Amino acid sequence: MTLKKITLATKKLSKSYMIFTNSTSQQDCIEYRDIKFIYADEMEFTLLVPIKSCAEGHHINLYIFDDNKQLKKLKKMPNDKSTLKCHVINGNISHLEKIDDELAEVTIQITDKVNEFWDSYISKIEERQDKVSEIFERYRT
């Protein structure tokens, strides 16, 4: 994937669920149904989140789960976050745009220097997107 290429990452493509901790405001957002993964590349990703959960410049710890089984039971963020069976991506909010009274679109600049999980995550999404594009192309011609 080239550095400037953006991959659309809908729930069906990403097949994952997300929650986050806002390290700056010490606020947790565990309502995984309210967090929508929009797109990603090697350096940043964009989410739709509840508007009051973060602000531009805040540091975010994003927890990515392969399924929602653990999240359905989660009532609050555990003190020891290592007990969560998930992947963690850290970043800073570089852009926030209010969508409506409840939602904001945020762009998060990844601060992890090396993260093999993220690279493989983007590759998997890109592969799924390529398959979808191939199907559309077949029916277009």
Among the ranges given (3-17, 37-51, 73-87), the one the predictor scored with the smallest mean pLDDT: 3-17
Q: What percent of the chain has pLDDT over 70?
A: 87
Q: Which residue has the higher pLDDT, 11 or 57?
A: 57
Neighbours of 33 (CB within 10 A): 8
The first and second tokens of residue 65, run together, are 């789960």
CA atoms within 13 A on the CB side of 18: 24
pLDDT of 10: 47
Dump pLDDT digits (tens) for 100-133.
Answer: 999 999 999 998 755 677 778 778 878 877 887 8
Dump pLDDT digits (tens) for 71-107.
Answer: 888 889 988 888 888 888 899 999 999 999 999 999 9
The first and second tokens of residue 72, run together, are 């359905």
User: Which pTM value belongs to this model?
Assistant: 0.76
DSSP structural state of residue 15:
-
Look at the block and give the residue holding tokens 């994003």: 62
Amino acid letter for position 68: N
DSSP assignment of 37-100, as one string? EEEE-SSEEEEEEEGGG--TT-EEEEEEESSSHHHHH-SS--SSGGGS-SEEEEEEEEEEEE-S
Q: Which fold has domain 7-140?
A: Thrombin, subunit H (2.40.10)
Domain ranges of the chain: 7-140
